[in-house]
C-alpha cells in the first residue's frame, strides 16, 4: 500500500511492504509490531470514532516512535531518503497529528491478514 501526503509543501510518499518491520528493526533496534500496536492508532474503525475518542488515542502516541515509523514508511518508498534526523530536518513543519490520521490505513494494513 502506498500513499502520498503533502508535508511542508513537498510530496512525500509513504509505502508499506513486507520489508517495513525488518527495516524498522535494523534502523531502530525495536520491534515494529510491538511499537505500532502499543501506540493504538491502528484501529480500522479510527475514522468512525468521535473526535474526542480520536484525541484520546492521539494523546497516547509516543511521538518518537511515530517519527521512526513515518521515516520507515517513507524510506520504504524512497531509498534515497537520508537518516531519520536529516529527513525530519528537511521539513520546516511536520504536522504529526495530521500525518498520524492520514497514515492510519497504511499502518492498519501492515498488521491485517488477507485470508480468503
With bands split at pLDDT 50, 70 and 90, how would you rate the model's confidence at 24?
A: very high
Q: 32-80: per-residue pLDDT in tens?
A: 999 888 876 665 566 677 878 777 777 777 889 989 999 999 999 999 9
pLDDT at 116 over 70: no
Cell of 54: 480520536
Please give the Cα distance from 2 to 77 (Å, whole number).
8
Domains of the chain, by residue range, sit at: 2-111
Q: Give, for 13, the enclosing helix (H) or strand (E).
A: strand 10-15
Q: Where does residue 36 rank: exposed (0-12), middle (13-18), buried (19+ CB within 10 A)? A: buried
Q: What is the mean pLDDT of the chain?
A: 86
Q: What's residue 52's pLDDT?
A: 84
Amino acid at each position: 500500500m502506498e500513499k502520498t501526503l503533502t508535508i511542508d509543501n513537498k510530496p512525500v510518499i509513504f509505502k508499506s511492504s513486507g520489508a517495513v518491520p525488518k527495516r524498522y528493526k535494523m534502523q531502530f533496534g525495536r520491534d515494529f509490531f510491538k511499537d505500532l500496536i502499543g501506540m493504538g492508532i491502528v484501529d480500522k474503525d479510527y475514522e468512525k470514532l468521535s473526535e474526542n475518542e480520536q484525541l484520546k488515542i492521539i494523546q497516547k502516541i509516543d511521538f518518537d516512535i511515530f517519527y521512526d515509523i513515518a521515516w520507515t514508511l517513507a524510506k520504504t518508498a524512497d531509498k534515497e531518503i537520508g537518516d531519520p534526523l536529516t529527513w525530519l530536518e528537511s521539513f520546516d513543519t511536520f504536522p504529526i497529528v495530521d500525518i498520524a490520521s492520514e497514515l492510519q490505513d497504511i499502518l492498519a494494513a501492515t498488521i491485517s491478514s488477507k485470508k480468503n
